[in-house]
Amino acid sequence: MAGKRTTAESIGVGHAMSRVPRVKGDRYPRGNLAGFAPNTVKGRLTFPPSPSKTLQKKINRKELKQAMLSALAATTSGELARARGHRLPPDFELPLVVSNDVEQVTASSEASKILKNLKIWDDVERASKRRNRGGRGSVRGRPHKRPVSALLVVEKKQTVQRAFRNLPGVKVVEAASLNVCDLAPGTHPGRLTIWTQSAIKSLDARFGGKAN
The predicted-structure confidence for 24-57, as pLDDT tens digits, reads as follows 777 666 655 555 677 776 667 788 888 888 888 8
Give yes or no for a contact between 160 and 123, defined as CB atoms under 8 angstroms apart. Answer: no
Average pLDDT across the chain, whole number = 87
Residue 78 has pLDDT above 60, yes or no: yes
Confidence of residue 75 (pLDDT cuts 50, 70, 90): very high
For residues 32 and 116, state if they share a domain: no
Confidence of residue 66 (pLDDT cuts 50, 70, 90): very high
For residues 101 and 187, state if they share a domain: yes
For residues 119 and 170, state if they share a domain: yes
Q: Hey, how many other C-beta atoms are within 10 angstroms of the C-beta on 205? A: 12
Give dist(CA 97, CA 89) in Å, integer. Answer: 17
Phi, psi of 79 (to 5 degrees): -65, -45
For residues 118 and 70, state if they share a domain: yes
pLDDT at 12: 85
For residues 110 and 185, state if they share a domain: yes
Give yes or no for a contact between 20 and 39, defined as CB atoms under 8 angstroms apart. Answer: yes
For residues 188 and 118, state if they share a domain: yes
pLDDT at 4: 65
Amino acid identity, position 21: P
101 domain residue, yes or no:
yes
For residues 170 and 98, state if they share a domain: yes
Amino acid identity, position 85: G
Q: Which domain holds residue 47?
A: 20-51
Residue 136 has pLDDT above 70, yes or no: yes
